[in-house]
Each structure stands twice: as C-alpha cells, then as structure tokens.
C-alpha cells in the first residue's frame, strides 16, 4: 500500500478505532475484575487444600488470563498504523490461538469434569461444557494447521528456513488472524458465562460444607 492509500485508510478507520478503544477499556475492567476475584478464590482454595475448588478456579483463571492476552493482541492489531505492526500483532495472536486450541480443551477434560461431578453438578452443566468443548474442537480442526504454520515460521520462529519465513509473511493477512481471534472468543465467552454461574454455585453453603468435610477427612501429613 502506498503512502496516500495508507493515509486514507487511517482516516477512514479513525472513528472505528476511537469506538474500539472505548469499548476495550470497559472490557479490560471486566476482565481485570474477573481475574482478581478468581485469583483470590484460587489462593484461598489452595490454602484450604480443596482439590475440587483448586481445579475449578485454576481453569477459570487460566482462561481469564488467556482471554485478556487475546484481547490485547486484538487491540494492538486493530489500532496499529503500519502493515508491519499489524503483521507483528497477528503473528503473536496466531501463536496464542494455536497454543490455546491445543491446551484449553485439555484443561476442560476428564480431570475438570470429575471435579465438577464431585461437586454435585447435574447433566445440564455437562451439556453446557460439552457445547463449549465442541466449539473449541471445531475451531482446532478448521484452523490449527494454518496457525501452526504461522507459529512455527514467523511467530515462535521454530523453523530455521529464513526464505520460507519471508514467504509466509508475504501471504499473511492480519485481518484473517483477527477474524480467527474473534471466532475463538465465542467459546471463551461461553465458558466465561459458565464460570460465573459455577463460581456462584460453589459458594452455596451445602457445597462449602461438603468440601470442608473432605478437607477434614484428609490424613494428616505429620
């Protein structure tokens, strides 16, 4: 893109970038509050020795931190003023998305589900979790090959073929990666809503009492 075209694009995008910045500030506050609350509960669960609550809050905190990083990459990509900076943000986002579609389904797997079952959650909860996991697995099936290529060649620089790196950059469209970030955010938001309800559930006195009894029944290490 020549200098005139770049200038016209910046002028055209200016009002959208202003609105994006304001919306993003609100999202950052919500995300920050969620991270703070979940961290506090995770630390308390570990002090008390509750295996189930430790797992619940650890998964929630992991995904909240992941979502914040994804939001930061999205902001940087959208607000960047040069092609190089947009590609730079897209490369980092591609690495994050690849690792996320590999790791997050694993976090929501057997161990997490066993903890939820032990906490007394019913079938409707597991159906919600199944739908979230299905969305993540569908994303992985459709996009992991592309994301892995970007990650290996120009994100994490795993491949040492410099010419191949340039060739990947030549065809890398930052907007394509931005759209993938938006698509991956959908199951993340679904899990975020799931986690809010779950955090309310585990605050119920009956759940707290059962977890306290399990902790009391643990054999002393001394």
Using one digit for the tens of pLDDT, what is the confidence trace for 38-90?
999 999 999 999 999 999 999 999 999 999 999 889 888 888 888 899 999 99
Sign of CA dihedral 81, 29, 68, 123: negative
Count CA atoms within 13 Å of residue 159 on its CB side.
16
Sign of CA dihedral 73, 74, 77, 79: negative
Average pLDDT, the chain: 87
State percent of the chain over pLDDT 70.
86
Q: Tell me the pLDDT tens digit for each residue of 155-201.
A: 998 889 999 999 999 999 999 999 999 999 999 999 999 999 999 99
Task: Indicate the length of the chain as a whole number.
Answer: 222
Predicted TM-score (pTM) of the model is 0.84
């Amino acid at each position: 893109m020549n200098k005139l075209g770049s200038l016209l694009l910046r002028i055209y995008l200016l009002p959208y970038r202003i609105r994006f910045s304001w919306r993003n500030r609100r999202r950052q506050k919500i995300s920050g509050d969620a991270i703070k609350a979940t961290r506090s509960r995770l630390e308390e669960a570990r002090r008390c020795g509750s295996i189930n609550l430790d797992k619940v809050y650890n998964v929630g905190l992991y995904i909240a931190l992941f979502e914040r990083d994804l939001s930061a990459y999205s902001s940087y990509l959208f607000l960047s003023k040069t092609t190089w900076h947009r590609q730079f943000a897209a490369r980092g986002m591609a690495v994050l998305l690849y690792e996320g579609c590999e790791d997050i389904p694993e976090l929501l797997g057997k161990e997490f589900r066993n903890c939820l079952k032990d906490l007394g959650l019913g079938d409707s909860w597991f159906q919600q979790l199944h739908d979230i996991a299905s969305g993540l697995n569908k994303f992985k099936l459709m996009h992991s090959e592309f994301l892995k290529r970007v990650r290996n060649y120009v994100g994490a620089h795993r491949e040492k073929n410099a010419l191949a790196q340039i060739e990947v950059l030549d065809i890398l469209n930052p907007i394509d990666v931005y759209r993938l970030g938006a698509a991956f955010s959908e199951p993340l938001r679904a899990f975020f809503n799931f986690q809010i309800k779950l955090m309310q559930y585990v605050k119920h006195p009956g759940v707290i009492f059962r977890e306290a009894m399990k902790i009391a029944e643990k054999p002393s290490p001394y």
